[in-house]
Amino acid sequence: MVIPAFLGAAFVRGVEGLANPKGFVLVKPELASVKFDNLYAVGVAVAIAPVGATPVPVAVPKTGHWAELMAQAAAHNIVAEFKGGAKRDGLTAPVTCIADAGDTGFYLSADPFLPPRNKVVHKQGKWARSLKVAFEKYYLARIRHDWPSLHFGW
């Protein structure tokens, strides 16, 4: 029996076909490696091609929310390997990001995260920073006390 494993980008650089030259893991939509079906990567470890050129070459940002959704999809897919059943696409998910930027912040909701999108909301202001602080407190309490995840349709 082969046990699926998660990989970190720092450990795969230079393994031909496993990662890109920067060390990000090349994955299929179900987050399994394109080279080894029993290896999974999620979050910042995943290689995602930019949707377009930028003046400064940058990688595609990955929000904490998206990383959590990827991890849930990968866990589901590992179970599906053993029990059978359909696998989930971990790369196309609706994502919410609330970012703190000093005395201001921004809120982003995109479905899916990468274009082409069905929906995108982007707003910024001091209220977004307060929302970020409140959300962080709630999220940490949720983990600490094993509360259920709330889904607001964001």
Residues 57 and 112 in one domain: no
Predicted confidence at residue 11, as pLDDT, reads: 67
Provide the domain limits for residue 66. 1-91
Predicted confidence at residue 40, as pLDDT, reads: 94
Predicted confidence at residue 1, as pLDDT, reads: 43
pTM: 0.79
Residues 23 and 37 in one domain: yes
Q: What is the 3-state secondary structure (H, E, C) of the chain?
A: CCCCEECCHHHCCCCCCCECCCCCECECCCCEECCCCCEECCHHHECCCCCCCCCCCCCCCCCHHHHHHHHHHHHHHHHHHHHCCCCCCCCCCCEEEEEEECCEEEEEEEECCCCCCCEEEEEECHHHHHHHHHHHHHHHHHHHHCCCCCCCCC
Predicted confidence at residue 145, as pLDDT, reads: 94
Predicted confidence at residue 28, as pLDDT, reads: 96
Predicted confidence at residue 136, as pLDDT, reads: 87
Q: Please list the ranges in the chain whose pLDDT falls under 70.
A: 1-11, 14, 150-154
Predicted confidence at residue 31, as pLDDT, reads: 96
Predicted confidence at residue 64, as pLDDT, reads: 84
Predicted confidence at residue 52, as pLDDT, reads: 82
Residues 50 and 77 in one domain: yes
Predicted confidence at residue 83, as pLDDT, reads: 94
Residues 55 and 105 in one domain: no
Instruction: Write the CATH number for 10.
Output: 3.50.50.60
Predicted confidence at residue 15, as pLDDT, reads: 79
Residues 84 and 152 in one domain: no
Residues 98 and 85 in one domain: no
Residues 19 and 80 in one domain: yes
